[in-house]
Structure 1
Amino acid sequence: MFRKAVVKGYFYPDNREELVNFFEQNKEKQKSDAILAIVPHAGYIYSGKTAVKTISSINLKKKVLMLGPNHTGFGEKVALFPDGEWETPFGILKVDNVLNSKLKLVEDIKEDIVAHVREHSLEVILPILHYFSGDITFSAITMMPMRYNQCIELAEKIYQNVRDEEFTIVVSSDFNHYEDAETTNKKDMMAIENILALDSKGLYDVVFSKDISMCGVYPAIVGIELAKLFGAKEAKLIEHTHSGYVNGDYSQVVGYAGILIQ
């Protein structure tokens, strides 16, 4: 199955030279090992710098497991893109057949194209991954809302099936949406503090008790728990920002963060 890029020229430039310049201007020089990276998925003009700084600061494995929210509401609840290829401005990236075959053994994960065909949350990350590690293969999962215990069970089932694989986990999520900058900064930091503590239950509770509109909270919870099963001990914040710094409108912003779990 071939997935054509659907938000190129909209969420990110459809021009290789422009992308290369953007990536080179914003990349980190120092790299470290990481089990998981949380990165934003808005248009590059708003969150691209944060995503580039975060991804370029880690030693990417040859395989990547991508977890992102389903914004469209179409398709399966936990949707795995089938074996195939995805288009990026740097060429074609292949789905990892071996990783996919093991993920398909998880009963809660269903192969599904519909959930992915118009979804932007993973597509916008792929050009960055492709540029900084062009020979990767990947598996792509989108998620709809789930209860906390379902997230934990999903992480445990994934681990049982892929624990002999080596891969980097990339979680795609923006943080609070469309409130003023002061409110968003406060809400985002409440969520980020729980992520930095590797406290997925605390993250779940604060997101709902404080009405934090973090679109990738479910992929983040699954990712945190999966990273802990792979031995993660700590996390660090690479950058937190919001859209107001770009468009000058501080009355309604979207928050973005880049976080590593190691």
Structure 2
Amino acid sequence: MHRKAVVEGVFYPKSFKAIKNFVDSCNVKLQVEAKIAIVPHAGYIYSGETAVKTLKSINKIEKNIILLGPNHTGLGEKVAVFPEGEWQTPCGDVTVNKDTVDLLVEKSVILKRDTMAHIQEHSLEVLLPILKYLKDDINIVPITVSHLTKNECFNVAKDIYEIIKDGSFTIVVSTDFNHFESEEVTNYKDKLAIEKILDIDPEGLYNIVFEKRISMCGIFPVTIALYLARMLKLNNVKLVEHSTSAKASGDYHRVVGYAGILIG
């Protein structure tokens, strides 16, 4: 099964050369041992620099990557795992790790094989050209997540943990933070959410996002990732960068927040 790129030329460039130039232009000073990366998924003009800086700051990206992101379209299963095949990128196709997909789905009651949730979804696709350029031989397990309870987030994390605990995986989690309020409000709300992530506090993050009405589209995948961080006994957390769309748009009244965070 070949999953064609759907936001190529809109969210990110169509050519390998343009991807290369963009990624190479983002300089980093940091090198971190990290198993989990939280990165944004807007158009590269807005959040691409934050995403690249975060992923380039990982000392070693593993060949096997678990991709977790929100389902914006509402299509498909609540926790949808793309079953097999390849995903198209300007840097070459990326292979789905069918063996890991099969293990996950067979051992879980909530993770389901599904392509419908992925067909028009951009949250994972926009990260693939960066990852493919940084590490050419990657394979992926693409998972999109719709609305889940805290307990469901925990159960998804446990299912993933049981499969990856003895292997070498990098978990890449896709989310933007607060949407379409002023930069002042967005910085305040994003800070509340980021503090919970830095504390590896999945319950606290989940609660504060709904209590303070923080429109963080990837709340569910990030909550799953924080439960995974606990299970993996990770305690080194680094905020690489926080930014907003205002830097590119010049509009400070209606912005989207972005953050790059590494957990190792």
Which TM-score band applies after superposition, normalised by the shorter structure?
over 0.9
Instruction: Give CA deviations for 1:138-187 in whole Å, capped at 9, x if unaligned.
Output: 10000001111111122112212332221000000000000000000000
How far did residue 199 of structure 1 move?
Answer: 0.4
Q: What is the aligned partner in structure 2 of residue 142 from structure 1?
A: 144
Matched position secondary structure for 2:37 = strand
Matched position secondary structure for 1:104 = helix
Alignment-mate amino acid for residue 76 of structure 1? E
How far did residue 30 of structure 1 move?
Answer: 4.1
**Amino-acid identity (%):** 51
Alpha-carbon contact 1:143-1:219 (below 8 Å) kept: yes
Q: What is the aligned partner in structure 2 of residue 100 from structure 1?
A: 101
Alpha-carbon contact 1:102-1:162 (below 8 Å) kept: no
Unaligned runs of 5+ in 2: none
Instruction: Give CA deviations for 1:47-77 in whole Å, capped at 9, x if unaligned.
Output: 0000000001101011000000000000000
Question: What TM-score, normalized to structure 2?
Answer: 0.97
Q: What is the aligned partner in structure 2 of residue 247 from structure 1?
A: 249
Question: What TM-score, normalized to structure 1?
Answer: 0.98
Q: Which runs of 4+ in 1 moved over 3 A?
A: none
Instruction: Give CA deviations for 1:17-55 in whole Å, capped at 9, x if unaligned.
Output: 111111001042542210100000000000000000000
Q: Say yes or no: does 1:67 pair with 2:68.
A: yes
Alpha-carbon contact 1:8-1:14 (below 8 Å) kept: yes
User: What is the distance in 1 between the residues matched to 2:28 and 2:141?
Assistant: 25
| 228-237 or 66-75, which deviates more | 228-237
Instruction: Give CA deviations for 1:62-106 in whole Å, capped at 9, x if unaligned.
Output: 100000000000000000001110000011110112211211121
Q: What is the aligned partner in structure 2 of residue 35 from structure 1?
A: 35
Alignment-mate amino acid for residue 233 of structure 1? N
Alignment-mate amino acid for residue 37 of structure 1? A
Alpha-carbon contact 1:27-1:57 (below 8 Å) kept: no
Q: What is the aligned partner in structure 2 of residue 88 from structure 1?
A: 89
User: What is the distance in 2 between the residues matched to 1:177 and 1:25?
Assistant: 27
Q: 1:236 aligns with which of 218, 235, 238?
A: 238
Q: What is the aligned partner in structure 2 of residue 9 from structure 1?
A: 9
Alignment-mate amino acid for residue 179 of structure 1? E
User: What is the distance in 2 between the residues matched to 1:18 and 1:86?
Assistant: 19
RMSD over aligned Cα atoms: 1.0
Q: What is the aligned partner in structure 2 of residue 211 from structure 1?
A: 213
